[in-house]
Amino acid sequence: MKKVSVIIPAYNEAEAIGVTLRAIRERFFCDELIVVDDGSEDETATLAKKWADTVISHPYNLGKGA
């Protein structure tokens, strides 16, 4: 059986991250929801923890290539 993982990159998305992750959880099937917080200076990581299985936080912004 295949496992479906959804990975969401985020940078300073505190205003939208909760709504986005909630929509994914309620409308799509996924086994694992992961948020990669790219050094946000707001509450993105904290808010993401409510909906995501895993939140990975970079200490500072590394950009799209990271």
The DSSP letter of residue 10 is E
Structure confidence by residue, pLDDT tens digits, 8-17: 999 999 999 9
Residue 66 has pLDDT above 80, yes or no: no
- Residue 64: inside a domain: no
Q: Which domain holds residue 23?
A: 5-57
pLDDT at 59: 93
What's the pLDDT band for 63 if we cut at 50, 70, 90? confident
- Residue 25: inside a domain: yes
- Residue 66: inside a domain: no
Cα separation, 15 vs 19, in Å, equals 8
- pTM beyond 0.85: yes
- Residue 52: inside a domain: yes
Q: What angle do CA 49, 46, 10 make, to 5 degrees?
A: 85
How are the residues of the chain apportioned to helix, strand and coil, as percentages rounded to the nearest 5?
Answer: 25, 25, 50
Structure confidence by residue, pLDDT tens digits, 10-55: 999 999 999 999 999 999 889 999 999 999 999 999 999 999 999 9
